[in-house]
Amino acid sequence: MLEKKIKCPTCNNILTVNGNPGDTIIITCPNCDTKGKFSFKETGISSKETSIVPALEIYNVTKTFNGFKAVDNVSFSVRKGEIFGFLGPNGAGKTTTIKAILGLLHADSGRIRINGFDIKEDEIEAKRSIGYLPERVSFYDNLNPLQTLHFFCELQGVDKSVAMDLLKEVGLSDVIDRKVGGFSKGMQQLLGIAQTMIGDIPVYIFDEPMSGLDPRWVKIVRDMIIKLNERGATIMFSSHILSEVQNLCDRVVIINKGKIIAQDSVENLNRYLNIKPRIEILIPGLHGKIPGSIRKIKGILSLDIKEDKLIITCESTFRMNIITEIKNQGFDVKDIQTFEPTLEEAFIKIISRSEEMG
């Protein structure tokens, strides 16, 4: 359990809150009744130092299918120790890039290094350095999950005793007598995660590891990614669940129509795109009209109204002054909610910009 001290943005009252890593809690200030949300960072993510030494290097990779460029001159690198998000709309080229990195399909051109090993010149070492969870996992239908993991332990020369613990960790220990062929998509996905945990592999690529999983199982996958990373592994994963990417990833790369269109940390992407925090203030009686005196308040960048709710964007540093000024003007502020910029907003803005530019 973590303990944090938070300053109320309205009245500066200091509140003490408790929670576990990854928890998001709703807080109401006992002094002024302001409501807000606070997220406890996942352990090991916020304070982690990543190395500038690359675990994955992708240079000018192009892959064409019958004249169609699915991946077009793509370059990026993933630093050792990072959790790295690979984002893009459906059909953008993520799986094709991932398969090219793994040597599962041959790129037309470009160079790829895994953990310093070139996938063509040092193929065996490169492949030994990487663990992979495909978009669609498949196992032998007639084996149960324990037999399946034993099989992979044998392949990798790892003691089979780890198998049962891994099944417990992914929540499959109560179905060890069932055949994997009868598993649901989510159960197969979790078995895939357990399989990738076998052995001590420095670099992992997961292609949509959370897709089709219910929230409880998403949490299991998230915890496994954190655990692997704490063990020292570098992880790159593709996902459409942007909140997970935002919480887990040190940096992200965004691909659209086969081309990389952005590569940075979530914070920097928001900064470059000029996405500002938003405050929503409930003032009963406004009925869709913005009072002139509020329009004049310093620091407001944009102002909108939905019935009795004012929607304001501003720099974080002006947030307190704006709220105080509205109260000083005599408005009956009933509720305040603050929204930090999200990866989803950045993603939508970047994709639509790249579409506009053709």
Measure CA 63 to chain center.
26
Assess 93 for contact with ligand ATP (CB under 6 A): yes
Q: Is residue 189 part of the contact set for ligand ATP (CB under 6 A)?
A: no
User: 106 exposed, middle or buried (CB, 10 Å; 0-12, 13-18, 19+)?
Assistant: exposed
Q: Does 257 bind ligand ATP (CB under 6 A)?
A: no
Q: Please report how close the Cβ of residue 209 comes to ligand ATP at its closest, in angstroms.
A: 12
65 binds ligand ATP (CB under 6 A): yes
- Measured CA to CA, the distance from residue 273 to residue 347 in angstroms comes to 10
Output the smallest distance, CB 96 to Mg ion, in A. Answer: 8
User: What does the block give as tokens for 148?
Assistant: 């399946």
Minimum distance of ligand ATP from residue 99's CB (angstroms): 8
Closer to Mg ion at the Cβ: 94 or 251? 94
**Can residue 195 be called a binding residue for Mg ion (CB under 5 A)?**
no
Least Å from the CB of residue 226 to Mg ion: 23
Number of residues located near ligand ATP, criterion CB under 6 A: 11
Q: Is 256 in the site for ligand ATP (CB under 6 A)?
A: no
Q: Which of residues 47-106 bind Mg ion (CB under 5 A)?
A: 94-95
Binding to Mg ion in span 109-138, by CB under 5 A: 135
Q: Is 94 in the site for ligand ATP (CB under 6 A)?
A: yes
Residue with tokens 């037309």: 108
Q: Pick from Mg ion, ligand ATP, none: which does 93 bind, CB < 5 to 8 A by kind? A: ligand ATP
Give Dmax (Cα) for the chain.
73
Stretch that binds ligand ATP, among 36-44, 91-99, 242-250, 293-301 (CB under 6 A): 91-99
How buried is 26 (Cβ within 10 angstroms: 0-12 exposed, 13-18 middle, 19+ buried)? exposed
Nearer to Mg ion, 95 or 148 (CB): 95
Interface contacts to Mg ion, rule CB under 5 A: 94-95, 135
Interface contacts to ligand ATP, rule CB under 6 A: 65, 70, 88, 90-96, 135
